[in-house]
Structures are given as structure tokens and as C-alpha cells.
Amino acid sequence: MKNESLARKIALERIRVLLALAEARTVENSKESRRLAKRYTDIARKISSHYKVTIPKDLKYRVCSGCGNFLVPGINCTVRLASSHGYIAYSCECGNERHFLYKTRGKTKS
């Protein structure tokens, strides 16, 4: 229906705005602003599940799946490069890790 697609479009826009606000609040790095940032990510997840809209990958990977914090390197997470395995690891302050592949695995065709 026309209304459903419009609702999903608005929901996706709101998710993007909420996660941008969460990033801005996390960068401020005070206790109150971090609490607000976590609340923004929680609201974005609820909107996503209610309207059955997937959070875009570029933003989804910036949210910790363990605690819900918005990940900003140097503020609430550390980044390391595992070059022998071909991935980047983001470690949140809650102890949860996210791995992002940057190398393809397997044999190359020759």
C-alpha cells in the first residue's frame, strides 16, 4: 500500500536522524550525553522492529550488539587490526567485539 511505503520511508529517515544524534551525544563524552545516546539507539531499534525496516549497514555496524552504545573509536571503543586474519576488530567497553572483514578468504583464481 502507499501508506505503508510512506511510513517505512519516514521510519528509515527517523532512524538515520536518531543515530546521527546518538553519534553527536557520544562525542560529547559526558555521563548524561552517553545515557541519551544509548536511549537514541534503543528508540531507533524499536522503530526498526515496529515498522519492519532494516537499519542501514553503515549505521548498524556502529551500534554495539551487547550494550547498545553507539561506537566511536577512541571514546567508548578500541580498534585493532588483525592483518593475519583479515579483519578489523572493534571492542566496546562492555567487552563485546565486532569483526569486519577487509580481505576475501579462500583461494584466488589463477
At residue 3, φ and ψ (nearest 5 deg) are: -65, -35
The three three-digit cell numbers of residue 74, written as one number: 577512541
Residues of the chain with pLDDT under 50: none
d(CA 73, CA 71): 6
Residues 6+ apart with CB under 8 A from 85: none
The three three-digit cell numbers of residue 36, written as one number: 541519551
CATH no. for 2-72: 1.20.5.420
Q: Is 58 helix (H, G, I), strand (E, B) or coil?
A: helix
Per-domain residue ranges for the chain? 2-72
Q: What's the confidence (pLDDT) of residue 83?
A: 85
Hey, what amino acid is at 65? S
Q: What's the confidence (pLDDT) of residue 105?
A: 67
Q: What's the confidence (pLDDT) of residue 31?
A: 92
